[in-house]
């Protein structure tokens, strides 16, 4: 791409920064962000209770009897409340009955203030379990995590069984697979810092136990989020490792990979990010998001390594999204959503292929997508996404492929849709379909050409900290000749203890 094209594209996106807050989704992060918001609210309530207590203490002490012979009526120039004068008679002499009654009211208010402050401290202590080494910085840390056990049985071998992405080719053999693991356990920390003007300082750290490269399917340390932020009701600025802006929703499946490579586009990468929130009416919101992001992601998978070394071409990718939400905010399973939420997003960039012999090749990265979430009733809703683009394997599209053997960028289209039903506030099901379909004309022999799955599950939130789920899905993966496609029924169960 030419420099002028990048300047025009960047200017167009920057000019559009007049929107409102998005409802970005992630499998675990939506819950984490809700915890962080509650933590900030409890901090604000604690400060309010502290100020109220201080006022009550000063007011009560002011009304306490002075030592014998020292009590004087208020001077004409002293600004006391009207109730302070009620303890004096018309001749300026103390009225003992009125003074005792007034003191009793003050002490009762003081006890109420102490009780409220105690509740605030107790609620805050449930979250704020760690302070930083430099207390003068004003940061608190809320530690959270989960212990997760999963068991999966598939009729044919999945690629990465613990994070299903596609089914291996059919070689005419029985490749049924069973997988028991705990790699989807996670550990994280939410940071709440001081206020800077109207902005709240914060951040998030989150890691799973999949190892640095998920494709290796080995236990280890997989960093999923590591960002700092400044935010208020109108703006959010963040830097660090965060989720992609383009098509940010996800299907609700037990599979940790949540349909990546099978119709759910989007992943994570280092980025500089700006969000603008705008509410023209109480029941309406607009959101505009913009980010400069890392073009390459090396910690998931690439199913065509023969295409050569893939690297950035000296430019960051540009991601953007505009979303509109309508309807009152209503809570379901701890998450507040509007009746209708619609988003349009896209990405522009470049990737370079460096080969052992010959000059490097450069391919454009581009994609556009739409996402939607509609609440039909208080317990039933729809959500889904659609995308179309080129050289978007690092966004887990095109079945996680960037280039063909000729080292040309692969085009692809796909998406997913889901219907969810909350039978009770703690028992819910999700039914959906997802497909990723690279263009056959862009593919060379042996590459995956289509990947799709159907799923249905039942998830029981037994308590706030214990979750049990079972999922039934059917997967089908096609390949270009000479390989043959394969399919499998998959039975998946999960138990998760959150803390």
Those residues whose C-beta lies under 8 Å from the C-beta of residue 421, and which sit 6 or more positions away, are 379, 380, 428, 429, 430, 431
Q: What's 94-154 look like in SS3?
A: ECHHHHHHHHHHHHHHHHHHHHHHHHHHHHHHCCCCEECCCHHHCCEEEEEEEEEEEEEEE
Q: Which residues on adjacent β-strands are paired with residue 419?
A: 382, 431
- CA 269/CA 396 separation, integer angstroms: 12
Backbone angles phi, psi at 160, to 5 degrees: 60, 75
- CA 165/CA 400 separation, integer angstroms: 9
**pLDDT string in tens for the chain (499-residue length):** 443 434 334 343 333 333 333 334 455 656 666 666 666 666 566 555 555 545 544 443 444 444 333 334 434 333 333 333 333 344 445 555 555 555 555 555 545 554 554 554 444 444 545 666 666 677 888 899 999 999 999 999 999 999 999 999 999 899 999 999 999 999 999 988 889 999 999 999 999 999 888 877 888 889 999 999 999 999 999 999 999 999 999 999 999 999 999 999 999 999 999 999 999 998 999 999 999 999 988 665 655 555 567 888 999 999 999 999 999 888 776 677 899 999 999 999 999 887 766 677 889 999 999 999 999 998 999 999 999 999 999 999 999 999 888 778 999 999 999 999 999 999 999 999 999 999 999 999 999 999 999 999 999 999 989 999 999 999 999 999 999 999 999 999 999 999 9
- Region at 3 (left for phi over 0; alpha for psi -120 to 50; beta for the rest): alpha
Give helix then strand counts, H and E, for the chain: 4, 23
10 Å CB burial of residue 386 (0-12, 13-18, 19+) is: middle
Q: What is the largest CA-CA distance in the chain?
A: 109
Give residue 97's pLDDT: 55
Contact between 381 and 253 under an 8 Å Cβ cutoff? The reply is no
Q: Whose structure tokens read 């932020």? A: 229
How many angstroms separate the Cα of 286 from the Cα of each of 17, 142, 229, 273, 346?
10, 30, 20, 17, 17
Give residue 140's pLDDT: 84
Per the structure block, which two tokens stand in for 433?
Answer: 């379909």
10 Å CB burial of residue 78 (0-12, 13-18, 19+) is: exposed
Give residue 10's pLDDT: 36
Helix axes 96-125, 29-63, angle to 10 degrees: 160
How many angstroms separate the Cα of 369 from the Cα of each of 18, 273, 285?
20, 19, 20
Give residue 19's pLDDT: 36
Contact between 417 and 394 under an 8 Å Cβ cutoff? The reply is no
Give residue 484's pLDDT: 95
10 Å CB burial of residue 29 (0-12, 13-18, 19+) is: buried
The structural domains of the chain, with segments of one domain joined by +, span 131-498
Give residue 424's pLDDT: 94
Per the structure block, which two tokens stand in for 119?
Answer: 């509740």
Contact between 261 and 301 under an 8 Å Cβ cutoff? The reply is yes
- CA 318/CA 351 separation, integer angstroms: 13
Give residue 290's pLDDT: 98
**How remote is the C-alpha of 338 from its chain's centroid?**
17
Give residue 92's pLDDT: 47
Q: Any idea how long the chain is?
A: 499
Quick: pLDDT tens for 268-284. Answer: 999 999 999 999 998 99
**131-498 is a CATH 2.40.160.10 domain:** yes
- CA 356/CA 472 separation, integer angstroms: 45
Quick: pLDDT tens for 43-54. Answer: 566 555 555 545
């Amino acid at each position: 791409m030419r420099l002028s094209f990048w300047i025009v594209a960047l200017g167009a996106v920057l000019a559009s920064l007049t929107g409102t807050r998005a409802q970005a989704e992630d499998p675990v992060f939506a819950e984490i962000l809700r915890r962080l918001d509650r933590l900030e609210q409890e901090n604000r309530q604690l400060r309010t209770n502290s100020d109220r207590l201080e006022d009550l203490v000063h007011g009560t002490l002011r009304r306490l009897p002075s030592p014998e012979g020292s009590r004087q009526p208020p001077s004409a120039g002293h600004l006391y409340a009207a109730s302070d004068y009620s303890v004096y008679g018309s001749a300026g002499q103390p009225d003992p009955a009125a003074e005792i009654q007034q003191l009793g009211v003050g002490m009762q208010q003081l006890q109420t203030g102490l009780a409220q402050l105690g509740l605030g401290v107790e609620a805050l202590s449930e979250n704020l379990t760690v302070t930083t080494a430099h207390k003068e910085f004003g940061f608190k840390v809320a530690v959270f995590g989960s212990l997760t056990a999963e068991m999966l049985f598939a009729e044919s071998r999945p690629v990465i069984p613990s994070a299903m992405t596609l089914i291996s080719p059919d070689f005419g053999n029985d490749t049924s697979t069973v997988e028991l693991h705990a790699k989807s356990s996670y550990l994280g920390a939410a940071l709440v810092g001081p206020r800077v003007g109207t902005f709240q300082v914060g951040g998030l750290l989150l890691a799973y136990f999949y190892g640095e490269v998920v494709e290796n399917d080995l236990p280890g340390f997989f960093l999923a989020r590591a960002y700092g932020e400044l935010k208020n009701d109108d703006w959010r600025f963040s830097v660090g490792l965060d989720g992609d802006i383009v098509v940010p929703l996800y299907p609700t499946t037990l599979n940790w990979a949540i349909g990546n490579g099978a119709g759910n586009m989007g992943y994570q990468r280092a980025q500089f990010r700006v969000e603008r929130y705008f509410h023209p009416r109480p029941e309406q919101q607009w959101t505009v998001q913009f980010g400069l992001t890392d073009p390459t992601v090396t910690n998931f998978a690439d199913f065509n390594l023969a295409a050569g070394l893939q690297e950035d071409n000296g430019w960051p990718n540009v991601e953007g999204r505009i979303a509109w939400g309508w309807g009152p905010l209503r809570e379901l399973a701890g998450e507040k959503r509007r009746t209708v939420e619609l988003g349009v997003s896209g990405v522009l960039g470049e990737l370079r292929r460096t080969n052992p012999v010959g000059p490097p090749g450069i391919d454009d990265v581009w994609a556009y997508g739409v996402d939607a979430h509609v609440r039909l009733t208080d317990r039933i809703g729809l959500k889904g996404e659609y995308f179309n683009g080129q050289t978007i394997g690092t966004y887990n599209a095109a079945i996680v492929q960037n280039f063909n053997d000729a080292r040309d960028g692969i085009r692809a289209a796909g998406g997913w849709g889901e219907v969810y039903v909350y039978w009770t506030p703690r028992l819910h099901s999700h039914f959906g379909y997802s497909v990723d379909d690279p263009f056959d004309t862009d593919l060379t022999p042996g590459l995956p050409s289509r990947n799709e799955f159907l799923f249905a599950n039942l998830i029981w939130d037994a308590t706030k900290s214990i979750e049990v789920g079972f999922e039934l899905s059917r997967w089908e993966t096609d390949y270009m000749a000479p390989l043959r496609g394969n399919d499998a029924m998959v039975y998946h169960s999960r138990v998760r203890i959150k803390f």
